[in-house]
């Protein structure tokens, strides 16, 4: 029952993101066609292709598999590349340039992809929200790994938004959100996905973890069971 709920819920949340992006890009392509801007049309179509390709695995049946974290980080970067460009996000992913460790885990890759993608969406929103208030701080997101700090290897998602304004103990409770129009299920679903992986989700301030000081907003660690590398 938990598998079915997670697969349906996360698919629905990510599908709404995809349709939002598709709608915006199709409007832009229509505008570029009237100006006969072939290069921009080509770039936008490439983004739409990556968006659809990135969403396809989410709809597949939930199956546990062994995979390298670097693989899922690469797919997440491609899936969100157009959004990073549109929102002028400075995106950094050290594992993809071999500046941070890769590791292997066993788990449902489609659910993990969906969960992290939702965390990235939150970071895009809150870092952009802060930028609107203070445009001297370009929105920035860090997606990296940590194999030394916790009981097992971890994925770190950090941004330079406003940080957590809600009590930590309420962050993973369903229907708790400060995001306008949000339904408050993203972190709840992510905590359930991490349970399936034998891990946990943890929340930090920048001072509590070894990441660059520029990422002084929300910091989330997805910590995996060391026995499931």
Query: Which sign does the torsion angle of CA 80, 104, 96, 222 carry?
Result: positive
pLDDT category of residue 7 using cuts at 50, 70 and 90: low
Would you say 54 and 75 are in contact if contact means Cβ atoms under 8 Å apart?
yes
Whole-angstrom distance between the N-terminal and C-terminal Cα of the chain? 26
Quick one: pLDDT at residue 39? 76
Quick one: pLDDT at residue 62? 58
What does pTM read for this prediction?
0.74
Quick one: pLDDT at residue 229? 40
The pLDDT of 170-189, averaged and rounded, is 79
Quick one: pLDDT at residue 141? 97
Separation CA 131–CA 186 (nearest Å): 23
Quick one: pLDDT at residue 53? 64
The pLDDT of 225-229, averaged and rounded, is 62
How does pLDDT run across 117-159, given as a tens digit for each residue? Answer: 889 999 999 999 999 888 888 999 999 999 999 999 999 999 9
Separation CA 130–CA 163 (nearest Å): 10
- Max mean pLDDT among 3-7, 102-106, 153-157 falls in 153-157
Q: Kindly state the percentage of the chain with pLDDT values over 70.
A: 74
- Max mean pLDDT among 19-23, 46-50, 147-151, 171-175 falls in 147-151
Length of the chain (residues): 229
pLDDT tops 80 at residue 199: yes
The CATH code of the domain at 64-228 is 3.30.565.10
Q: Kindly state the percentage of the chain with pLDDT values over 90.
A: 36
Average pLDDT score over the chain:
82
Separation CA 1–CA 62 (nearest Å): 12
Quick one: pLDDT at residue 215? 95
For the chain, domain boundaries: 64-228
Q: Where are the alpha helices (DSSP H) in 67-158?
A: 69-86, 109-133
Quick one: pLDDT at residue 228? 42
């Amino acid at each position: 029952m938990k598998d079915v709920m997670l697969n349906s819920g996360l698919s629905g949340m990510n599908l709404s993101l995809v349709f939002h992006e598709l709608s915006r890009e199709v409007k832009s392509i229509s505008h570029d066609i009237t100006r006969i801007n072939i290069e921009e049309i080509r770039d936008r179509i490439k983004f739409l292709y990556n968006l659809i390709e990135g969403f396809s695995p989410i709809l597949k049946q939930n199956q546990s598999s062994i995979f390298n974290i670097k693989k899922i980080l690469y797919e997440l970067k491609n899936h969100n590349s157009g959004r990073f460009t549109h929102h002028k996000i400075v995106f950094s992913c050290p594992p993809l340039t071999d500046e941070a460790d890769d590791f292997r885990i066993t788990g449902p890759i489609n659910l993990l992809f969906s969960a992290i993608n939702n965390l990235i969406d939150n970071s895009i929103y809150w870092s952009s929200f802060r930028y609107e208030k203070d445009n001297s701080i370009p929105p920035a997101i860090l997606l990296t790994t940590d194999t030394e700090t916790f009981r097992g290897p971890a994925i770190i998602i950090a941004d330079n938004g406003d940080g957590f304004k809600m009590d930590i103990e309420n962050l993973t409770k369903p229907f708790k959100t400060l995001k306008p129009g949000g339904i408050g299920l993203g972190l709840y679903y992510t905590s359930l996905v991490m349970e399936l992986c034998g891990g946990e989700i943890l929340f930090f301030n920048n001072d509590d973890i070894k990441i660059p000081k520029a990422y002084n907003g929300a910091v989330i660690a997805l910590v995996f069971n060391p026995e499931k590398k």
